[in-house]
Amino acid sequence: MSTPVSPLRSVVTSPYVLLTVCFLLWSGNSVFARGAADIMPPMNLAFWRWGVGIVVLFPFASRALWRDRATYLKHWKLFLVVALAGVTGFNSFVYHAVQHTTAIHATLITSAIPAAGVVAAWLVYRETISLRTALGMLVAFFGVVVVISNGNVSVLASLAFNVGDLIALLAVVAWTIYSIGLRAMPRGLNPMGLLLGVMIVGWLFLIPFFGYELAQGDRAAPTLGNLAGIVYLGVFASVVAFAFFNYGLAKIGSTRANVFNYLSPIFSGVLAVVFLGEALEWFHGLSIALIFGGIYLAQNARRAVPVEVKTG
C-alpha cells in the first residue's frame, strides 16, 4: 500500500508552484539588472552572480557531481552546450541588452521564449502542442503586451528597435537551447550535481569576458547595495530558481514550463511597486488575469508525448 502524500508536501513539490516561485525570483534578477545598468558592468554582474552561486551550492552538490563524472564526460558536448547557453549566454545577453534598450523592449522580446520553445521542441523532439495550449500562450502573451504598454497597446507601433533588442533576441535563443538541451541530458543524473556542473563550466567561460571588462576599466563598485544584489542573485536567482526550473521542466516538459515566462513582467511590476514606489494601475489587474488565465489553459491541455531522443 502506498503512503498518502500530505497536502503540504504535494504543494511544495508541485512543479507548478516551484515554477511560479522560480519566475518570481528571476523577476528580482530583472529588477536589479535594470536598476544597476548604469553602475554594474554586465559581465561583472554575471561573473560575481554565478561565482556566489557556485560557492553556495558546492558543499551540497560536489559529491553528486563527482559521482556522475563518467556520464558527463561521455556526453561532454551536450553538457557544454547546456552550460554555455544557460549560464554563460542567457543572463549575460540580458544584462547587455538592458544597457542598450528599454525594459519594455527587453520584456517584449524575451516573451517570445515560450513560442521559441514550441518551435524547438517540434524540431528536436517532433513534439506538438494542442490548440488549447496555443490559445493559452496567446492569451498570456497578450497579457504581457497589456502590462508593458501600460494598457495602451497602440504605443507599441511607435517603438524603434536597436542593437539591445538584437542582444535580447540572442537571449531568447540561448534560453531555448538550454531548455531543449537539458531535456536531452541522460536520465538518472543527480539534479543538484547537474546544476553545479553547469554553473561551474558556464562560469569558467565568463572569465575571459570579465577580464576584458576589467582591462577596460569597467568594474563594479563594492557598495552595500551591489553586494546585497549579487548575494541575492547568486543564492536565490541562481541556485534556488534554477533548481526549481530544472525540476519543473523534468516534470512537465519544456513547452509547458516555459509558459511560466509570462509571469515575469507581472512579478517585475509587483516588485517595482513594492521596492521602487511605482503606482499600481488598472492594467496590471487585467494583465494578471490574462496571464494566469493563459497559463491555466496551457497547463490543463493534453500533454504531447515527445519522441525519445538518443543522447549517445
Residue 137 domain boundaries: 15-299
Please write the tens of the pLDDT for every residue from 18-34: 999 998 888 877 777 76
Phi, psi of 145 (to 5 degrees): -60, -40
Q: Whose grid coordinates read 500533454?
A: 303
**Is 3 a domain residue?**
no
Domain count, the chain: 1
Give domain status of residue 84, yes or no. yes
| Mean pLDDT, residues 112-141 | 80
The residues, ordered by sequence, that sit 6+ positions from 99 with a Cβ below 8 Å of its Cβ are 37, 42, 164
pLDDT at 95: 84
Task: Establish if 54 belongs to a structural domain.
Answer: yes
Distance CA 171, CA 55 (A): 25
Q: Is residue 107 part of a domain?
A: yes
pLDDT digits (tens, 9 = 90+) for 180-220: 998 889 988 999 999 999 999 999 999 999 999 999 988 87
Residue that wins the pLDDT comparison between 312 and 139: 139
The answer to whether position 8 is within a domain reads no
Report if residue 2 sits inside a domain.
no
pLDDT recorded at residue 206 = 96
What is this structure's pTM? 0.80
Question: Are the CB atoms for 85 and 175 separated by under 8 Å?
Answer: yes
Task: Give the residue among 305, 304, 14, 265 at the shortest CA–CA distance from 133.
Answer: 304
* Most confidently modeled range among 83-87, 124-128, 223-227: 83-87
What's the confidence (pLDDT) of residue 309? 35
Q: Using pLDDT thresholds of 50, 70 and 90, give the confidence band for residue 311.
A: very low
| Residue 9 included in any domain | no
pLDDT per position as a tens digit, 55-69: 999 999 999 999 999
Question: Does some domain include residue 140?
Answer: yes
Torsion 203-206-211-216 (CA) sign: negative
